[in-house]
Structure 1
Amino acid sequence: MFRNSDGLSAYIVVLLIVCIVMANTGTSFTDDISKCTQTTDDGSRVSETGRADMVAGECPGQGPCRDADAVDPCAESQFTMDQSPGQHKDSSFEPRIEEDTTVNNDDDIQPSLIPSLFSNVPPTINFVRPDQKVKQFPSAIKNRLKYVEGMNGIVESYVVRSGFSVTSDTNNYILHFGIPFQPQDTQLNKHIRPQSKFNHIPASWHLGCKNMLAWGLVRQQRKYGEEEYGFFPKTYQFPHDKQAFKRAWDATPAGEMWIIKPACMSGGRGVSILTDLKEVPNDGVAQRYLLNPLLIDGAKMDLRIYVLVGSIDPLRVYIFPEGEVRIAMEKYSMDNFDRSDVHLTNFAVNKLNAEFTQDKLFDIRRTLTWFWHHLKEHYGAERQPIWDKIKDIVIKSILSGEEFMQAGTNSYVKNRHSVFELFGYDIFIDDNLKPWLMEINVSPKISNNTLKEVRGPMLADILNMAGVQIPDDDGDKSQGNSEETVPKHLVTDPRLWTQPLTDEEKQKQEKFTAMKDESQQQALLDELTPDDVRILINSFDENNRKGLFESIYPTPDTKKYHKFFKEPRYYNLLLCHWMQRYHLKEEEGIQVLESYCQQKKHLKP
């Protein structure tokens, strides 16, 4: 997607190197910034290189929806903590982290800010891995960096390293990485300050709750056919499909099975093979059990794939190239339906096996990189065809719930750039190497048991992609505003997200979303509005911070997915046609946007 951040951001690399060198020469933070990015008389910035720089659903009978692998506030904490979940943490609390935290020498100190690709756009805060050091902010900035304590101490360790302090005040923060608001509390999204970042998109449980996901996928399958939406097992949702399932049960051939899953429970709880129709629950789903799993050392396995939705409107989707292979503790057999450690791969289930020890962790959890080598060695299979199918599953499944998340964001969030979402996809691979979507997890658990090859680089990339900026005040009105102590060009600029659409912009959007001819739609790029420029620079800057993540939507090839949207989205068309025009001449496209930013068109109404 967009530009290649390795090849097309060379001047950014030079800029960061300058900052790193100065960090080691004893210069102050403000000296570093004034030399890295200076403000000209007209307000534009010049670098050292000389370049101007259904909205909410509820799970019946389950209460609040929770994903299948979420941090469960009722379960025992996975961290070394002496307080109950939700209790305010002591300021000295340091979560246990398994990865190598040996810090590199002083020559490797990372800059505290990531500059924008464009002039007159504030930088974002730089989050680094545990083995890295980062240049520290002065107290005037640190006082503004508030992180709401969540259930994840691993994430907390990352943000504290970058200068944040932890608060329990949910009305005064700029970053919150926790569990989502529940359906009955959706309106609480309205309290997210527009300059803050929250790691959940309203109505994301349309993907995270199994019954709601099934409803969306079945709806798409009926509309577009199994050729497009044939990547999930036959599924019935209760109570809506109870009579239809009874008919399917009666017609089930001997030897085939159905698996029952509660709508929103986690950690494999409540999952069982159905042996009697009387056991059908009043809510949840029944899913046809896939009898031909790919086995590793005779045991059942699946893949945990991590997907980040950076924005819902426009839709921007990324996939992390490293993931986890989850393997059951016991050998696969259809003779023992009551053994969950045979049929389920959840770590929460398999760690309860009497034979499990930490020494056997590699036996039940391996990296996705290992899996690709395993397929090549034992089956002669290449990674790319399977990976492409998984990416197709990811995009199409997100589109099954996109309209609800888009509506929720428009209804409850003041700034569409405030919310993002990490999903954990559970992908089953059958013995024909076909990937199947089993479920999608909201708030996938990232703990000490998550492979360090995944959590270390992925968490830093997620936080950087969130685009956290220094707020224009400390959020505490009782203490007054300390804006004068922080250079103005470093703090967030409300003009980037508070501008309402003008009548001219509304007319343009209505005109081009009504067009059916794609060749005529391309004219929307001929004269960009201020709102167009804001969307484009936000998208390019996010992509520039993606680290190891791979952008899978939009790309120059993803216009084929437009037909799966309930209705055309103007911002999706904008990004699509931009890439169609500039994907082979990306620097030219960047220069076009830079010229607008130098004129400050993106800051105008």
Structure 2
Amino acid sequence: MLDKDSFEMETEEYEAEFEEESLRDSESDVDVDNTFPVDPALLLSDKTRRVGSTEVKSGFIPSLFANVPPTIRFCNETERIEPLPLPLQKMMKWKMSSITPNVVKSAVLRSGFRLSDEGNDWLGTWSRHMKPVCFKAIREYQKINHFPGSFQIGRKDRLWRNLSHMQAVHSRREFDFVPQTFVLPADFLLFKRVFDEVSETKESKWIIKPPASARGQGIRVISKMEQVPKKRAVVVQKYIANPYLINGHKFDLRLYVYVPSHDPLRIYLFDDGLTRFASRKYSTSVKSLSDRFMHLTNYSINRYNSEYKSNNDSTACAGHKWSLKALWAYLKKRDVDVADVIERIKDLVIKTIISADSYVNVLTKANVRRKFSVHELFGFDVILDEQCKPYIVEVNISPSLHSNSPLDMNVKGSMISDLLNLSGFMIPDRKDMSSDGSSRKKSKLPKSLIFDRRVLPQGLSTDEKVKHQYFAQRHNDEQIRKNIVDLLTPDDLRILVETEDEFARRGSFERIFPTNQTRKYLKYFETPRYYNLLLNEWITKYTRNEDRGIALLNTFCRKEIHLQNPAVDTNHMWTQYQKLHGHLSYRENDNANTNGS
């Protein structure tokens, strides 16, 4: 490891140099020729160097493709990043909020960001959810950690309404991962009828939750009708009275789900998470229902129990909080089919996200300049019954990232650095950061290193609109749907390049949608979305030969086809392709690449 004193001394010298340079820059009122101090090609190298036993990585993650700018690299506390040149670091500002977690703050500082409480020239922020109209103020190079409308699964009442709608449209069997739920007072009479019917034959246990609370606030388990509020807004859910127990204790899982895009929909699941135990042994006795330490698993509640035992080792099956990986290892030793449990969890995550897809897309289209600017981390809480069948408990749109122990830090620190890498932050041009779109200072930042709006999805050309409409109208015809990747428009290329670059930066996240096995979920979308069809066919075609697909895209990127709008090259015009009435695909060999593009 790098000597601590040497590292701190180097950091202090660097910060002093940065502050001095920033002061000189801020005092200058004239045009400045900021000659860039480094060959840009060196910054686009993915090579690492060693300082002692520490591996130092480049400050940029280069794109897989030509003529696509790099993204800023983030790392966890055990890694180190080569500082980017000062002219670039001056553009790296992170807007702090009252809820910015320390784990996020630490990650952005390690990458060279400066923290700021004011101004609008920031690149990213981690803040509370906003009203949809507030998203209109976000500039196209900026990123905020929410989608407008994500409360459709973040609120317990909206989550149930959306999943209930999916059960009605498709089948209850396909969405059987949510316990029977009622939203009061609207469903009071219906709930009372069900309650009375169940109570005639067996003991009836229900869990009551406020619709928009978090961290266990206001939650209680009841068994009598008189305990149910008649006028106050609450969600009442059938209590899973037969949970899987470990050492006699009930537990739930906190899963980290990241959605960088809703159109096309892309969903990632982190490979680790938390297992949170109730700190008192479980009992089915009605007399125990008021014991929150027995029936609730929230750390924010159980930490107040004198019996609570902490766990600092992410690999240990000890105490009242484990890592998710530790749980999977424990269950495997007891012959539980962990792979099947994980697949069921992926299924419920995908279906839950899709249930709110139409709401989020409508609000995003109406309120966000660039889809690039919005992304979101969700905390999915899942419980296993005695047969290890997973049920969704709730979804958090601002999951707690407080790290109270080395275990928390290990899981959440790695997750956040991987998430920020996935999100794809880019250095903006100086003129983009000024309020009027201009700058008194000459921008000498190399174009190959900075944000280029042309590489992001943008307005469709007339030709591209025709293609979108053609396949959306024929989305149920499998033979026609396969032809969607036969001719790639500039817009198609931008979507595919973004998707492949993002996938290459995934770290310990797994992309669970789309994959070559997720075509079955397309039927759940309220509206067939062209980009979902495109990615489904692309991934299906190249899943066993990703390098060939990437090489094909790179051929077009070298010719800057992905930057065209509208297409200039007739080989990438859908209407020209239709006139030929052919269905020949691009052939991924040198001869075809030369003749076809």
Which bracket does the TM-score occupy, shorter chain normalised? 0.7 to 0.9
Matched, 1:385 2:340: yes
Residue 437 of structure 1, aligned match among 367, 385, 392: 392
The SS at the match of 2:280 is strand
Partners of 1:480 and 1:205 lie apart in 2 by 38
Q: 1:30-83 deviations in whole A, cap 9, x for unaligned? A: 53533355xxxxxxxxx799xxxxxxxxxxxxxxxxxxxxxxxxxxxxxxxxxx
Change (3 A) 1:392 1:531: same
**Conserved 8 A contact 2:341-2:389:** yes
Q: Gaps spanning 5+ residues in structure 2: where? A: 1-34, 566-597
**Conserved 8 A contact 1:372-1:382:** no
State how 1:396-435 maps to structure 2 within 5 Å. 396-435=351-390
Question: Which residue of structure 2 lines up, in the alignment, with residue 376 of structure 1?
Answer: 332
Moved more, 466-475 or 391-400: 466-475
- Structure 1 residue 530: Cα displacement: 0.9
Residue 464 of structure 1, aligned match among 421, 443, 464: 421
- Structure 1 residue 211: Cα displacement: 0.2
Partners of 1:481 and 1:547 lie apart in 2 by 40
**Conserved 8 A contact 1:268-1:346:** yes
- Structure 1 residue 143: Cα displacement: 1.5
- Structure 1 residue 324: Cα displacement: 0.9
Partners of 1:391 and 1:454 lie apart in 2 by 19
Question: Which residue of structure 2 lines up, in the alignment, with residue 337 of structure 1?
Answer: 289
% identical equivalent positions: 36
- Structure 1 residue 279: Cα displacement: 3.8
Computing the radius of gyration from Cα coordinates, the structure with the larger value is 2
Change (3 A) 1:343 1:482: farther
Residue 528 of structure 2, aligned match among 544, 550, 568: 568
Question: Which residue of structure 1 lines up, in the alignment, with residue 126 of structure 2?
Answer: 177
- Structure 1 residue 536: Cα displacement: 0.5
- Structure 1 residue 225: Cα displacement: 1.4
Partners of 2:458 and 2:440 lie apart in 1 by 23
Question: Which residue of structure 1 lines up, in the alignment, with residue 584 of structure 2?
Answer: none
**Conserved 8 A contact 1:148-1:173:** yes
Residue 147 of structure 1, aligned match among 94, 102, 119: 94
**Conserved 8 A contact 1:113-1:126:** yes
Q: 1:256-284 deviations in whole A, cap 9, x for unaligned? A: 20110000111101001124434434212
Matched, 1:297 2:247: yes
The SS at the match of 1:489 is helix
Partners of 1:546 and 1:365 lie apart in 2 by 26
Question: Which residue of structure 1 lines up, in the alignment, with residue 165 of structure 2?
Answer: 219
- Structure 1 residue 107: Cα displacement: 5.0
Partners of 2:197 and 2:51 lie apart in 1 by 63
The SS at the match of 2:237 is strand
The SS at the match of 2:75 is coil
Partners of 2:351 and 2:510 lie apart in 1 by 17
Amino acid at match of 1:140: P
Question: Which residue of structure 2 lines up, in the alignment, with residue 547 of structure 1?
Answer: 507
Question: Which residue of structure 2 lines up, in the alignment, with residue 251 of structure 1?
Answer: 197
**Conserved 8 A contact 1:423-1:442:** yes
Q: 1:223-266 deviations in whole A, cap 9, x for unaligned? A: 21122100111001123212211111221233220110000111
**Conserved 8 A contact 1:29-1:137:** no
Partners of 1:174 and 1:188 lie apart in 2 by 17
Q: 1:76-131 deviations in whole A, cap 9, x for unaligned? A: xxxxxxxxxxxxxxxxxxxxxxxxxxx97475111100000000000000001112
State how 1:304-343 maps to structure 2 within 5 Å. 304-335=254-285, 336-343=288-295
- Structure 1 residue 584: Cα displacement: 2.0
Matched, 1:350 2:302: yes
State how 1:281-296 maps to structure 2 within 5 Å. 281=229, 282-296=232-246
Partners of 1:279 and 1:172 lie apart in 2 by 52
**Conserved 8 A contact 1:207-1:398:** yes
The SS at the match of 2:115 is strand
The SS at the match of 2:57 is coil
Amino acid at match of 2:332: K
Change (3 A) 1:128 1:413: same
Change (3 A) 1:481 1:432: farther
Amino acid at match of 2:207: I
Partners of 1:510 and 1:284 lie apart in 2 by 43
Amino acid at match of 1:199: N
Question: Which residue of structure 2 lines up, in the alignment, with residue 524 of structure 1?
Answer: 484
Partners of 1:159 and 1:483 lie apart in 2 by 27
Matched, 1:34 2:41: yes
Change (3 A) 1:498 1:289: closer
Q: 1:303-340 deviations in whole A, cap 9, x for unaligned? A: 11111111100000010111111101101113311111
Question: Which residue of structure 2 lines up, in the alignment, with residue 602 of structure 1?
Answer: 562
Q: 1:392-411 deviations in whole A, cap 9, x for unaligned? A: 11101111111111111111
Q: Gaps spanning 5+ residues in structure 1: where? A: 1-27, 38-46, 50-102
Partners of 2:207 and 2:564 lie apart in 1 by 56
TM-score (norm 1): 0.81
Q: Which has the higher contact order (CA 8 A, sep 6+)?
A: 1
The SS at the match of 1:108 is strand
Partners of 1:412 and 1:570 lie apart in 2 by 21
- Structure 1 residue 484: Cα displacement: 2.5
- Structure 1 residue 501: Cα displacement: 0.8
Moved more, 448-457 or 363-372: 448-457
Change (3 A) 1:383 1:170: farther
Partners of 1:170 and 1:425 lie apart in 2 by 34
- Structure 1 residue 443: Cα displacement: 1.2
**Conserved 8 A contact 1:201-1:405:** yes
Partners of 1:293 and 1:600 lie apart in 2 by 56
Partners of 1:483 and 1:241 lie apart in 2 by 63
- Structure 1 residue 422: Cα displacement: 0.7
Question: Which residue of structure 2 lines up, in the alignment, with residue 585 of structure 1?
Answer: 545
**Conserved 8 A contact 1:473-1:481:** no
**Conserved 8 A contact 1:140-1:482:** no
- Structure 1 residue 523: Cα displacement: 1.7
Amino acid at match of 1:595: T
Question: Which residue of structure 1 lines up, in the alignment, with residue 458 of structure 2?
Answer: 499
Partners of 1:477 and 1:219 lie apart in 2 by 44
Change (3 A) 1:264 1:535: same
Amino acid at match of 1:200: H
Change (3 A) 1:280 1:146: same
Partners of 1:315 and 1:144 lie apart in 2 by 30
The SS at the match of 2:258 is strand
Partners of 1:544 and 1:498 lie apart in 2 by 19
Change (3 A) 1:498 1:549: closer
Amino acid at match of 1:346: N
**Conserved 8 A contact 1:496-1:534:** yes
Partners of 1:552 and 1:36 lie apart in 2 by 32
Partners of 1:499 and 1:220 lie apart in 2 by 31
State how 1:113-262 maps to structure 2 within 5 Å. 113-150=60-97, 151=99, 152-169=101-118, 171-181=120-130, 185-253=131-199, 254-262=202-210
Moved more, 238-247 or 338-347: 238-247
Count of aligned pairs? 512
